[in-house]
Structure 1
């Protein structure tokens, strides 16, 4: 717990440096809801979610009031629906019916998002999982608060290139179906390699099948706090800089641990993990780009950017694990474009390209995130972008992800406004050379040699 000597410092972080608890997420197992009848399944899902999560929002608000700590989002994650719907879903419309039920649950209990409209297909796909993936465009159109994810690769299994080809088509179709809202359906869809079972952050949150009946996972964020600490370390050598980042991450994580314990006790649900991910927002002073530039870069994307991000990510993890025995999820630094004003500025200044972002994902927490690309980008080019990012995750034994938004009707030079925490983004150019023949090979890229550790 935070002691009395840390209170003043924590208050300053909250009031002046945008420290917040980004999310309290309840993970809920739906395994006991499974049924051979889709309507009965939906009824079971609705009853369980609205019972377990009925006090989540109220509890979050009470913790905010008690400690003065902003809790930005209250969310739910559920067991991957590709598994839950297998006994009864015989068509994409059956899965869309489940998506609408999840959306109704989210509105009923008042959460910001519900995640878990997901399929784990890193080695192969069942017929039901294929149906779920094919249903995603319609599900994203017909729901407001449901988030979807597909895990298409892992270090242990390799990359399912049949799934990679399919999800490229799905991203493009989702963009088309939601084009009247600037293809925003794609902002609720993420493609993973090595997806964690306990991630509280959207759009990729789901409740892993190894988890218990329900769990509280908390995500803490403090780019503004970290930026201020790094700014004050100007002129220090790298050893001293790393100590500064590590100590700051420790303090941020302590806040998350306190909130997690309070929420767990109030809701009577076991505590799972703290995810210490420096997740930016469009607000000025709440930027990962600012943290990197405070290390001595003129702009994100300049030579040295990947090294600076590696320092930040590693020291955040080191500080976090000293503050809590249960650090999990993604934990590190997110580099979404649309949600980070500094990243947007770097794209508009010409210092940050899609290729440089890909290099940065080798050392950050996730991957290519919230990147708007031309609406004319082909499905197979999107699959190629996904394949590259999945390969980085597979080879480096880390989580990587792709959340790209081909904005229908827009091209390089345009921008798109998503609103709220999703921010806005300039349309980034995409390499237009063809990868169709590569994607059309199909099959599975084998796991790397270092995966054999049994």
Structure 2
């Protein structure tokens, strides 16, 4: 049982160390909304979301006020829309109407973001999948709160290189469609390998088909808490370092467990998972990079960075699984460049490159996240970067993702301001050599030999 003593113990973390519950995300299945009539489909989607999530925001605010724990975002994830709209949508334009319905529903209930404008194409694309993917640029340009994701590979199925090639083109088109906002649409688009069904974080959240009709997932974050704890053991050996991270992660996860249980009870919705991901913000002292530097690195990106991140990720997960029976999602450490002031500083001082970030993704929770690149980067290069990251996930049996933002009209040395939790980012250089002939081969990269475990 969780008691108020445990909550009181976290007051200092909340007040001084940027501890927060990053999101309460309600997952909603839309499978029972399927209809061959597009207008009826949109009506059913809007009705179900607004009915089930009508009290989500007010409940989150009440819990936050009662327990003194900041709950930064309230969000919704839905069944991948390529599945829901397959019968009614015969063109990309048809799918755009669903995106606009989702956006309208999100605004009605007051959530920050709604995820699930998604397609799962790790082994191949249906016509509905292709139409949804082709609709993404227009859908993200004409909505404010809708987030999109596409899963292009898995350890079990291999990599769909046709989808990866297409996604490089879609990222560029999305950048063009939203170029008046510094290509902001790309900040709401994630390309996955091994995407989890219960991720509460945007922009990659969707409600998996194996989930219940409606659930509550909670994402907790506390980079500042971990950094402060490590300051107390500066210079100690790795055993002490690991134990400190693990104990801190335990305490943070217990806060998430409490919030999840309260939200579940008050909304009358089953509790899904707690995701303990160290998700940074642009706020001073809320940085994963600063945790790694507190471990003894002069700058994130220095030799030893990947080892430090591996240690951090592993100990966070070990502490989390002791604190809750239902730890899931992407639990670990995020390394988004634009959302982490320490990462931004490392890029500016030339200590951190895309290639080093890629190496770090072998051991972190997600992948190449919120990285601004020159707007004239070829679509094939973006596809190649997606393929590299997906291959890391496939071979290592972990989730990896790419959220690149080719900022139209800007180049290396310039910065782009996204605002809010999305922060700002320096434009990072990409390798200038072409991979076009490789990307254009088409077909699939087979699953690795260790996938055959049946």
Q: TM-score range by the shorter chain?
A: over 0.9
Which residue of the partner structure matches residue 94 of structure 2? 94
Q: Which residue of 2 aligns with 1:159?
A: 159
Q: CA deviation at 1:4?
A: 5.0
C-alpha distance in 1 between matches for 2:74 and 2:208: 19
The separation in 2 between residues aligned to 1:400 and 1:59, in whole angstroms, is 32
Q: Spell out the pairing of 1:312-391 with structure 2 (5 A cutoff).
A: 312-391=312-391
Show the counterpart of 1:85: 85
What is the CA deviation profile of residues 230-265 of structure 1, one whole-angstrom value per residue up to 9, with x for unaligned ones?
A: 111111111111010000000000000000000000
Structure 2 partner of 1:74: 74
TM-score by length of 1: 0.99
The SS at the match of 1:275 is: strand
Alpha-carbon deviation of 1:6?
Answer: 3.2
Which aligned segments of 4 or more residues in structure 1 are displaced greater than 6 angstroms?
none
Partner Cα separation in structure 2 for residue 116 and residue 311 of structure 1: 32
Structure-to-structure mapping, 1:1-12, within 5 angstroms:
1-12=1-12
Alpha-carbon distance in structure 2 between the residues aligned to 1:20 and 1:131: 38
Query: In the alignment, what sits opposite 1:427?
Result: 427
Partners of 2:231 and 2:188 in 1: how far apart? Answer: 34
Q: Distance in 2 between matches of 1:88 and 1:39?
A: 9
**Which residue of 1 is the match for residue 146 of structure 2?**
146
Q: Distance in 2 between matches of 1:177 and 1:31?
A: 30
CA distance in 1, matches of 2:166, 2:82: 15
Paired position in structure 1 for 2:208: 208
CA distance in structure 2 between the aligned counterparts of 1:54 and 1:5, rounded to whole angstroms: 31
d(CA) in 1 for partners of 2:23, 2:404? 23
- CA shift at 1:2, angstroms? 3.8
Is the 2:63–2:262 Cα contact (8 Å) retained in structure 1? yes
Query: Counterpart in 2 of 1:404?
Result: 404
Match of 1:260 in 2: 260
Comparing 255-264 with 7-16, greater Cα deviation is found at 7-16
After superposition, the C-alpha distances for 1:351-407 in whole angstroms (9 at most, x for unaligned) are 000000000000000000000000000000000000000000000000000000000
The DSSP-based 3-state class of the residue aligned with 1:387 is helix
The equivalent residue for 2:277 is 277
Q: Deviations over 1:90-121 (max 9, x none)?
A: 01110000000000000000000000000000
Instruction: Report if aligned partners of 2:7, 2:255 keep a CA contact under 8 Å in 1.
Output: no
CA distance in 2, matches of 1:136, 1:157: 24
Deviations 1:391-426 (A, max 9, x none): 000000000000000000000000000000000000
Q: Which residue of 2 aligns with 1:185?
A: 185
* TM norm structure 2: 0.99
Q: Residue 449 of structure 2 corresponds to which residue in structure 1?
A: 449
Q: How many residues align?
A: 454
Distance 1:391 1:157 in 2: 12
CA distance in 1, matches of 2:3, 2:242: 24
**How far did 1:5 drift?**
4.3
How far apart are the structure 2 equivalents of 1:103 and 1:144? 7
Gaps of 5+ in 2: none
SS at the partner of 2:330?
coil
CA distance in 2, matches of 1:162, 1:347: 32
Matches within 5 A, 1:10-159: 10-159=10-159
Which SS does the other structure have where 1:26 is aligned? strand
Where in structure 1 are there 5+ consecutive unaligned residues?
A: none
Once residues 122 and 60 of structure 2 are traced to their aligned partners in structure 1, the CA distance between those partners, rounded to angstroms, is 35
- 1:227 matched to 2:196? The reply is no
| Cα deviation, residue 8, structure 1 | 3.9
Distance 1:178 1:237 in 2: 49
- Find the aligned partners of 1:414 and 1:244 in 2 and give their Cα distance: 39
1:436 aligns with 2:436: yes
Map Cα deviations across residues 283-316 of structure 1 (whole Å, 9 max, x no partner): 0000000100000000000000000000000000
